[in-house]
């Protein structure tokens, strides 16, 4: 069996594509991934849209048409029109998955502006506006797990808006997001019909921790390289099991509530010395999502070996992180920095995209 299809059919993990681009949507590429590889969702972010919109001429006709119809519109409005069209197309392609899963899968994610990462009111307002503009039941609005994003996540869930909570790097991030989701459900008279995933970033954790381990340079430290991110993610999964397989959630689930699945993000391997599917292989497990960049998806199709590993030995995962701590590495501080850097990276990509669109606009005037 195709290893990508086996993730879902044999292990209960949904493979989502971490990429969106106009030609993929109009040329049958996404339909093929759904049909042949069992892809069950799509995620996007400002970096992905920047690469898509500035990397090809596929959007030029839409840019021209928009500017002709709305010559005084802002550059952000132009971007939003392009992005919403892509999201709507992807949502329609995934609609059969959404229907067949009774609304538990088949989602496409669109991120609020990273400029709002520290603005609760602004995040909520933009999320509601985008939800209405896209007008697809299988949309998820991506909201960062910043201090300002956490109350927005709760309020959006309470309002019945699907949320992909993103930019989580630590167990504290996961706890805040999961409990915000639960609080949002509690505020709903009917908790059914609203869905959420908790996007927990993986490979970037190893990039930071490995650098600290190499700086220490002892044999003990070097032997721990490439292991922190997986252990960190597995312990987030342990907390997922505790929260969503508890008696209290069982009662909520009986009223139609869905679990908030952990989604493994940033699963491409940054270190060329590590296996290219490391962060897929080691995090397979039921009720999870892995969102894969195109190259990682193709690699896993070619030589993935699906086996449920995410819950193999939580005690070992805990011991490994404790050992890293004893070496003087503050994982909490490193993961907090990663979230700050992640927001900044998406903000930079968004700003660069706005500048590129402004240049296209100027060239047409």
Residue 166 lies in a domain: yes
C-alpha triplet 225, 230, 233: angle, nearest 5°: 140
pLDDT at residue number 56? 82
pLDDT at residue 248 in the model: 86
Name the β-bridge partners of 14.
Answer: 289
Q: Is residue 318 part of a domain?
A: no
Handedness of CA 245, 247, 249, 252 (dihedral sign): positive
142 has catalytic annotation:
yes
Task: Write down the pLDDT at residue 365.
Answer: 66
- How far apart, in Å, are the Cα atoms of 304 and each of 262, 275, 284, 301, 324? 21, 11, 11, 6, 29
Nearest-angstrom CA–CA distance, 253 and 1: 33
How many structural domains is the chain composed of? 1
Q: What is the rounded distance in angstroms from the CA atom of residue 209 to the CA atom of residue 223?
A: 12
Q: What is the pLDDT of residue 364?
A: 75
Grouping H, G, I as helix, E, B as strand and the rest as coil, residue 43 is coil
Contacts of 114 (CB under 8 A, 6+ apart): 46, 144, 343, 346, 347, 349, 350
Instruction: Tell me which residue of 280, 291, 286, 278 sits closest to 261, measured CA to CA.
Output: 286
Say if 192 falls within a structural domain: yes
Structural domain contains residue 10: yes
For residue 162, give the CATH number of its domain: 3.20.20.70
- The parent domain of residue 250 ranges over 3-205+230-310+342-364
Query: Can you point out the beta strands (E) in the chain?
Result: 13-17, 41-42, 107-111, 139-144, 163-168, 196-201, 261-265, 288-292
Is there a domain that residue 215 lies in?
no
Given the residues 5, 142, 270, 360, the one annotated as active site: 142
**Prediction pTM value:** 0.96
Kindly give the confidence (pLDDT) of every residue in the chain, 365 residues in length, as a single tens digit, with 9 standing for 90 and above.
899 999 999 999 999 999 999 999 999 999 999 999 999 999 999 889 888 888 888 999 999 999 999 988 999 999 999 999 999 999 999 999 999 999 999 999 999 999 999 999 999 999 999 999 999 999 999 999 999 999 999 999 999 999 999 999 999 999 999 999 999 999 999 999 999 999 999 999 999 999 999 999 999 999 999 999 999 999 999 999 999 999 889 999 999 999 999 999 999 999 999 999 999 999 999 999 999 999 999 999 999 999 999 999 999 999 999 999 999 999 999 999 999 999 999 999 999 989 988 888 887 76
Q: Note whether residue 290 is domain-resident.
A: yes
Distance CA(192)–CA(255), nearest Å, equals 7
Q: How far is CA 163 from CA 68, 118, 230, in A?
A: 34, 17, 24
Q: Is residue 220 part of a domain?
A: no
Q: Does 218 reside within a domain?
A: no
């Amino acid at each position: 069996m195709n290893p990508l299809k086996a993730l879902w059919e044999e292990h209960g993990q949904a493979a989502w594509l971490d990429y969106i681009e106009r030609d993929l949507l109009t040329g049958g590429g996404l339909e093929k991934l759904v049909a042949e590889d069992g892809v069950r969702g799509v995620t996007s972010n400002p970096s992905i849209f920047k690469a898509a919109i500035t990397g090809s001429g596929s959007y030029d006709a839409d840019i021209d048409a928009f500017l002709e119809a709305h010559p005084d519109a802002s550059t952000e409005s132009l971007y939003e029109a392009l992005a919403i069209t892509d999201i709507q197309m992807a949502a329609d392609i995934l609609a059969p998955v959404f229907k067949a899963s009774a609304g538990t899968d088949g989602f496409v994610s669109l991120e609020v502006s990273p400029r709002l990462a520290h603005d609760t009111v602004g995040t909520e307002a933009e999320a509601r506006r985008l939800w209405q503009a896209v007008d697809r039941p299988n949309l998820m609005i991506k909201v960062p797990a910043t201090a300002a994003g956490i109350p927005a996540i709760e309020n959006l869930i309470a309002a019945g808006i699907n949320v992909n909570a993103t930019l989580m790097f630590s167990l504290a991030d996961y706890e805040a997001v999961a409990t915000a989701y639960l609080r949002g459900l509690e505020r709903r008279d009917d908790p059914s019909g609203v869905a959420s995933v908790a996007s927990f970033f993986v490979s970037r954790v190893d990039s930071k921790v490995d650098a600290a381990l190499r700086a220490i340079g002892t044999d003990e430290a070097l032997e721990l390289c490439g292991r922190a991110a997986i252990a960190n993610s597995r312990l987030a999964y342990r907390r997922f099991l505790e929260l969503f397989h508890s008696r209290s959630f069982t009662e909520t689930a009986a009223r139609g509530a869905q679990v908030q699945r952990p989604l493994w993000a940033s699963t491409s391997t940054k270190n060329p010395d590590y296996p290219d599917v490391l962060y897929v292989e080691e995090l397979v497990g039921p009720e999870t999502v892995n969102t894969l960049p195109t190259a990682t998806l193709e690699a896993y199709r070619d030589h993935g070996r699906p086996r449920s590993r995410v819950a193999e030995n939580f005690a070992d995962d805990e011991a490994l992180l404790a050992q890293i701590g004893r070496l003087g590495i503050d994982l909490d501080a490193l993961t907090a920095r990663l979230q700050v850097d992640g927001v900044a990276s998406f903000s930079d990509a968004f700003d660069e995209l706005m500048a590129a669109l402004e240049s296209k606009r100027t060239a047409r005037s």
